[in-house]
Structure 1
Amino acid sequence: MKKRITDFMLINFGLLLVSIGICLFKIPNHFATGGVSGLAIIASSLFPKIDVGPMMMIINIILLIIGYFFLGSDFGSKTVYSSFALSGLVWIIQKLIPLSHPLTNDMLLELIYSILFPAVGSAIVFNCNASTGGTDIVAKILSKYTKLNIGKTLMLTDFLIAIGAGAVFGIKIGLYSALGLILKAFMIDFVIEGLNISKQMVIISSKDLEIREFIVKELHRGATIYKAEGAFTHKQENVISTIVSRRQAIKLRTYIRSIDSSAFITISNTSETIGKGFRSIDDDN
């Protein structure tokens, strides 16, 4: 239950960041950097009586119906919730902070923030095994009926939206939208890796028993112990391998140095760790 509540809060926080980026930076500048929000920005310019938030809701409903016929009912509850919650948040923010023109005259600066907020928000949502839905469904359909993988079909779908922005709002907006789309892909990957990063520590020390006890009892982590032989000395040593958080890595390193100044330690980053005590695989996405 605690995990579900935490995920729910994180998903909503991520969706809030995405909606802020859409309302304050994307919509005023007509940046259509892919996704349902990009489609809605283009569609709202063609049907000016419908705001972007309600337009996103309409598009999401249509895509979910299409997805049901082509893919079946293979939609996680988190994704369905995120799709409609994002539309609602965009509609609310548009009503609370109506903008008829961009916040600044610097279009490049606005593009950066239009990518930063949604990228961080989307990364948080993806990290909770959910997605904002929308064009993901179109990408899955294309992937199913072509030989392209989901990553390529999603990029193709989003680029078509950017081209649509260029056709409707002019080549300048189209080029900015395409640039934003590329930057968004890199930014989301960067943030996700930052959220999931852990430290793998490999330790060789004569105080291996004390170090093991510290890892288990103080850090509440596990470790793998194996025998290794030195290339020069041919001496058998116990090697300790463990994966910990950043803060725990500092604590463990400090402790090892306090009891064995000659200990050999290597520390490396792991972009994602799945297993007990870390992330678990959740199919309900």
Structure 2
Amino acid sequence: MKIVASELKNILLITLGSALLAFGVTAFLLPAQIATGGTPGMSIIIHYVTNVGVSLAMLMVNIPLIIAGIKFITPAFAARTIFSVSMTSLFIEIYPNLFIFPTISDMLLSTLYGGICIGVGVGFILKGQASAGGTTIIAKIISNYTSIKPAQAILVLDVIIICATAFIYKDMELALWSLMSIYVSAKVIDKILSGSVSEKVVHIVSKHSQEIGVKISEDLGRKGTILSGHSLTLQTPKEVLFVVVGSREIEKLKAIINQHDEQALVIVMEASEMMGSSLLT
């Protein structure tokens, strides 16, 4: 039953993500002739070169890539990806028949909102344990036979798409708008996958870590962990207080630390993702 519920959740995420991805392409990028990264960008370019519909171009690009790279991915992932590509193509095909999209003359608006829609859509698709297209598989194949990492391969493919945009449209501005669209999408995807965590991870090296920890617990209501260590050169014992606080609590935390030890070493880092809550209560 758990497996069925999990798969239904994946299907829902993929369907919603495909709808948003298709909306971003159809409503914003396609009318402005702006490309994006991955196979959606390749499909837009193919559409303008051959006049083949974007939905058909997506299928023509993706299905062979998925079949070619089947040994690099699991059958379940391949099936979900085919479903994702099919749904995206379907939505791209039916949207113009369902809605009359207003013409947006501002390129910045088209780029930003197109990038946001595509970013959210791809983020949902990835959360649904699928891929939005075949460039991920191309990257896996390249990394399997070369020393190039998948992320680097995807970046190279996106650069090729941007260069193709500049060459085909003979318009450098469109290529730059496309680059901005890819950047916006990437940032949104990262936000979707990492969540909206606004916590900070703080490491405090101090001789008064016990007192600081007690004060943090009393004033901020946060718990933490004291780690034992030693100096790298002198081998003297050290205590490191590890605590997670909210972004708005950082200044209060600094004040607490300064009250007890002005010489304390404090390192503050972003917590991009967190699981569990034992340190936050």
The TM-score bracket by the shorter chain reads 0.5 to 0.7
Aligned CA distance change for structure 1 residues 260 and 30 (closer, same or farther; 3 Å): closer
User: Does the residue aligned with 1:103 lie in a helix, a strand or coil?
Assistant: coil
Please give the alpha-carbon distance, in whole angstroms, between the structure 1 residues aligned to 2:19 and 2:44: 18
Q: Which amino acid aligns with 2:141?
A: I
Q: What does residue 33 of structure 1 align with? A: 36
How far residue 186 of structure 1 moved from its aligned partner, in angstroms, is 6.0
Aligned CA distance change for structure 1 residues 129 and 185 (closer, same or farther; 3 Å): farther
What does residue range 233-244 of structure 1 map to in structure 2 within 5 Å?
A: 240-243=241-244
Q: What root-mean-square deviation, in Å, do the aligned CA atoms of Structure 1 and Structure 2 show?
A: 4.5
What does residue range 1-285 of structure 1 map to in structure 2 within 5 Å?
A: 1=2, 9-48=12-51, 50-68=52-70, 71=72, 73=74, 76=77, 78-98=80-100, 103-126=103-126, 130-168=130-168, 170-172=169-171, 175-181=173-179, 184-185=182-183, 188-189=186-187, 192-193=190-191, 195=195, 197=197, 198-201=199-202, 204=209, 206=211, 208=213, 223-226=224-227, 240-243=241-244, 246=246, 262=259, 268-273=268-273, 276=276
- With the length of structure 2 as denominator, give the TM-score of the two structures: 0.66
Please give the alpha-carbon distance, in whole angstroms, between the structure 1 residues aligned to 2:158 and 2:218: 52
The size of the alignment, in residue pairs, is: 258
Q: Which amino acid aligns with 2:65?
A: L
How far residue 74 of structure 1 moved from its aligned partner, in angstroms, is 6.4
Q: Which is worse superposed, 193-202 or 146-155?
A: 193-202
Q: CA deviation digits over 1:2-37, x for unaligned, max 9?
A: 776666555544433322211111111222223222
Q: Which amino acid aligns with 1:206?
A: E
Q: CA deviation digits over 1:107-142, x for unaligned, max 9?
A: 343223322322343345445654312222222223
For structure 1, the residue ranges without an aligned partner over 5 or more in a row are: 230-235, 279-285
Q: CA deviation digits over 1:231-277, x for unaligned, max 9?
A: xxxxx998642336x4xx6689989x9x9995789683424346556
Alpha carbons 2:115, 2:184 under 8 Å: kept? no
Q: Which amino acid aligns with 2:170?
A: I
For structure 2, the residue ranges without an aligned partner over 5 or more in a row are: 231-236
What's the % identity of the aligned pairs? 23
Please give the alpha-carbon distance, in whole angstroms, between the structure 2 residues aligned to 1:261 and 1:166: 55
Please give the alpha-carbon distance, in whole angstroms, between the structure 2 residues aligned to 1:167 and 1:207: 61
How far residue 166 of structure 1 moved from its aligned partner, in angstroms, is 3.9
- With the length of structure 1 as denominator, give the TM-score of the two structures: 0.65
Q: Which amino acid aligns with 2:25?
A: I
